[in-house]
Amino acid sequence: RAPPRYSSFGDIGKTSNGSSPAPGTVSECQSPRHQNSRLRRDTLFASFMSFTHLGIVGAGGWGTALALLLHENKFPISLWGHDPREIATIAEKRENVIYLPGVPLPEGFEYTSELDDLANCDLLVFVTPSKAMREVTARLSTVALRSDAVLHSCTKSVERGSGKRMSEIVAEHFPKHVVAALSGPSHAEEVARQAPTAVVIGATDRAVAQRLQQAFRTRFFRAYTNDDVAGVELGGALKN
């Protein structure tokens, strides 16, 4: 079997043979006409690929950090937490004082402890603790989610006892939905403070992988894609 191929947006701007333009030369990629054309293309691509409303399932440090990251790309965000009092405190103070103190949260976030409020999201990012993943996904499975919703596990662990990966647990409860996973050397406090970070998104559906890559891409956060979902998840779980 051929080794898995990682891809990123870093290939944009290379010449036709894969090399970078020679220093001091002006390639077609550098011409104003080409840049304007590429900008129009990228804008159209982003609008076609983009999600419309994101639900963050888990209001801990990692969930809050990813909410901030995705807010960089102007997505509407709903942040769900299981404890109504904690969610109310986060909403009031606009800060996750328990799990991510000292990092202000922007205006415009929606805060909720009701899973029904996530029904209209077309991307659900799962960041619950691994021990709670099965319970939360079981509860969420009773909600009438959008049929096109993508379910994205960002919890780096395996289930104690069964040894199942987090995406496998999600897929058990949502067999008709596309399920992807994110892993890599990343920490909530660093991502929240916009430290340079690189991760891998595992998805067997290439189109979904590209949509997620676009959604998570910022000036400080780079996501690569890989179709080896098990390898992506197990790599992160073993690291932890």
> Which sequence positions are flagged as catalytic?
239
- Enter the DSSP assignment of 107: T
- Token pair listed for 106: 């922007």
- Report whether 55 contacts 118 (CB < 8 A): yes
Q: Which amino acid is at 146?
A: R
- The rounded distance, in Å, linking the Cα atoms of 154 and 120 is 20
Cα within 13 Å of Cα(77), Cβ side: 27
- The rounded distance, in Å, linking the Cα atoms of 176 and 118 is 17
* CA 153 to chain CA centroid, nearest Å: 8
Please report how the helices 32-49 and 206-216 are oriented relative to each other, as an axis angle in degrees rounded to 10. Answer: 110
- Enter the DSSP assignment of 5: P
- The rounded distance, in Å, linking the Cα atoms of 195 and 69 is 11
